[in-house]
A and B are shown apart, each in its own frame.
Chain A
Amino acid sequence: MPEITGFAFPNDIHVTWSLMIVMYPYITGFVAGSFIVTSLYHLFDRQEFKPVARLAMATSFAFLLVASLPLQLHLGQPQRGPFVIITPNPTSAMAGFGILYSFYLLVLVLELWFVWRPEIIDRAKRSRGFARVFYSTLALRTYDLSPEAREVDHKAIKILAGIGLPAACMLHGYVGFIFGAIKANPWWSTPLMPVIFLLSAAVSGIALLILLYQVFARIDGRPVVATCVSALASWLWFFLILTITLEQLELIVMAYEKSESWIIISQLLTTRLAFSYVTVQMIVGGLIPLILLAVVVLMNRYLHDKVRNTLATVAALLCLIQVFAMRWNIVIGGQLLSKSLRGLRSPFEPEIFGREGVLMAIALFVAPFVILWVFDRVLGIEEPEGGVADGHGPPAVPPAGAPAGSHVP
């Protein structure tokens, strides 16, 4: 039984939302954050992000495929999970998940298709047997790669990115809303919550891409483009400043207006969450990367590529820890605090094995990288050098259904 300091309502000693509900915003954060990066290129034409634009989109997709699993694993009656979509209660914010998730998935899949169309067609033409059926199905039997067709593709990509960006932000802002709109819990109930979630999503997405970019560049034997790393580091710094500022503002407002909950929340932060909030979220994951990124951004032109990459990588790793700590401190921290506002329960220790255990959380975090690897094998994340349309020669045999006259020269 957990120990209680002060007085907690008897049912408040149980942590109902456990590790899976920490993983859920962590994973959807990568979905939104990666999409923000890909949009910087596809929507806002920031050319410095070109080297990571496709990787970012694939990352968003890989994490999106996993995003609903923690929720499903958390449910007491998982077989009834589809009820949220089939018989939603329109007054519940949670009922919006199905709509937001499906809509974003649709937009993202469409955008992926337009972006990867040349690769799909190339592979459809080059493969045989089952692979050919697979790729020509993926190509939707359209093999037109003429400049006019590519122009249409680019327009579609831009429009979809324009729809996808707010959709991704909604998908993650909604997670913050779920917490921010619970008036029963003063640690959650603030209109800042969706904004903080969204900003920290951007932090986690950009940080992950800094790491993934280095890894993929190494695997593919490509050089790491310095301008891309600098740009990612600048934006990471920007979003980290905003995130930490808002996280602190929330506390300062509570403390300054001496809200009724401040006494218990200040105890929560300085006792139960002293390590995960003060040490990890604020110092190790906040202050240190803030300084490292300041060095990268402010002294950029004096830095050797290796130094810049190392500093950015270390800062990115710490940012990933910061965002996880933030999710933990919100989700778990909010439940260590009794709604009596008179008591705190002892720190929550997640189980190791079980459905909501640590191993499952690790598996959920690893799964998107496996999906990314498969994605790379099936479609290739990076554009082949020289482009697919020009450098690979004509297919041995035109695929069935490919109309004459639409072949790439």
Chain B
Amino acid sequence: MSDCHDGCDSSRRDFISFTLRLTGGAVVMVAGASALGSSEAPKSVGEAYDWNEHLWAYLVDTTKCIGCGSCVRACKAENDVPEGFFRTWIERYVVGMEDSHVDSPNGGMDGFAPVQVGFVATKSFFVPKICNHCRATPCTQVCPVGASYRTKDGAVLVDAESCIGCGYCVQACPYGSRFIHPATHTASKCTWCYHRITRGLKPACVTVCPTQARQFGDLKKDGDPVRVAIEHDRVQILQGHLLTEPQCYYTHLDKEVR
């Protein structure tokens, strides 16, 4: 058995000093500046735009939508949305007392051909859908690097230059509004045409809507029609039970719509 008086002390000293040297070389100090709470404005923003002066909201009147698909086509053209993916789409509901039928062929981009259903339909309507730009949105909560964020003026955006493409936000969105872009391999979604709204324009889908079923407004502006409607009319939101606080409001929403 080894004698362990002086030997052990020196052994311990050697051990500690050697270990410190070994691990010391491996320690890399990383400045962990969290991406959360970044106050930098997103790119492609109009000059002299101040996001503190606005709070955007979207309003859909489902009774006005005629399912023409102009909005979907405009969105595709404006934002170069890849085929098979949608930043906005239209759903058609054919509803009877016994059953219901819902479809959205190619997101409603080409309009809707007549449909035969095997039950007595008593009502039919279209429902435009986009990202709800939720105030308490799970998509930004789950983003592991803070690449998904909500701007001060209420838009939920993705920084494609820091998105790692994990797809967690796609899973977390209850509305199916997000997708992984097949070319950039990063998360993509409706931005309310942020490049347009910061230049005093409306989102492309709102601009082209022939019936004003889609409206876009500023909650910080007195007398704004969208603000007035949200303030005074009966408005609904999608999947309210999930408490995501959507900023896309609906009027005349049917119970069938989720």
* Interface of A toward B, CB cutoff 8 Å: 1, 6-14, 16-17, 71, 74-78, 80-81, 83-95, 97, 137, 140-149, 178, 182-185, 334-335, 338-342, 401, 403-409
Contacts and interface: CB of A to CB of B under 8 A. Distances in A.
B103 interface: yes
B165 A77 contact: yes
Contact of A94 (B144, B175, B178): B144
A340 to B, nearest CB: 6
B175 A339 contact: yes
B146 A87 contact: yes
Contact of A11 (B164, B165, B168, B176): B176
Q: Size range of the interface on B? A: 35 or more
Contacts of B176: 8-12, 338-340
15 contacts: A10-B89, A11-B85, A16-B170, A17-B171, A71-B166, A75-B165, A76-B184, A76-B186, A91-B142, A141-B14, A142-B18, A143-B11, A146-B1, A342-B102, A406-B2
Which interface residue of B35, B104, B144, B165 has the most chain A CB atoms within 10 A?
A: B144
B138 interface: yes
B116 interface: no
B48 interface: no
B145 A340 contact: no
A149 B143 CA distance: 47
Contact of A77 (B10, B85, B164, B258): B164
A340 B102 contact: yes
Which interface residue of A12, A77, A84, A185 has the most chain B CB atoms within 10 A?
A: A77
A178 B172 CA distance: 10
A409 B1 contact: yes
A143 B86 CA distance: 65
A92 B89 CA distance: 29
Contact of A184 (B15, B129, B164, B242): B242
A342 B144 contact: no
A386 B145 CA distance: 52
Q: Is the interface of A mostly helix, strand, loop or mixed?
A: loop
Pick the 9 closest A-B CB pairs, nearest first.
A76-B165, A76-B185, A9-B176, A405-B7, A184-B174, A94-B144, A7-B102, A89-B146, A16-B167
B102 A183 contact: no
Contact of B145 (A84, A182, A338, A342): A84
A76 B166 contact: yes
B118 interface: no
B179 interface: yes
B84 interface: yes
Nearest to A141: B18
A329 B137 CA distance: 27
Given A7-B103, A17-B171, A84 B11 contact: no
A403 B17 CA distance: 14
A182 B171 contact: yes
Contact of A140 (B18, B171, B185, B258): B18
B22 interface: yes
Interface string B19-63: 100100000001111111000000000000000000000000000
A90 B34 contact: yes
B163 interface: yes
Contact of B10 (A89, A147, A403): A403
Interface string B104-143: 1011000000000000000000000100000000101111
Given A95-B145, A141-B14, 6 more contacts: A16-B180, A76-B180, A76-B186, A90-B36, A92-B168, A405-B6
Contact of B179 (A14, A81, A144): A14
B211 interface: no
Nearest to A12: B176
A405 B14 contact: no
Contact of B164 (A84, A145, A185): A84
B3 interface: yes
A86 B2 contact: no
A140 B142 CA distance: 41
B177 interface: yes
B165 A404 contact: no
A184 B172 contact: yes
Given A7-B91, A87-B33, A183-B138, A94 B166 contact: yes
B173 interface: yes
Contacts of A84: 144-145, 164
Given A401-B14, A406-B11, A184 B171 contact: yes
A92 B178 contact: no
A406 B8 contact: yes
A243 to B, nearest CB: 24
A95 B144 contact: yes
Contacts of B2: 144-146, 405-409
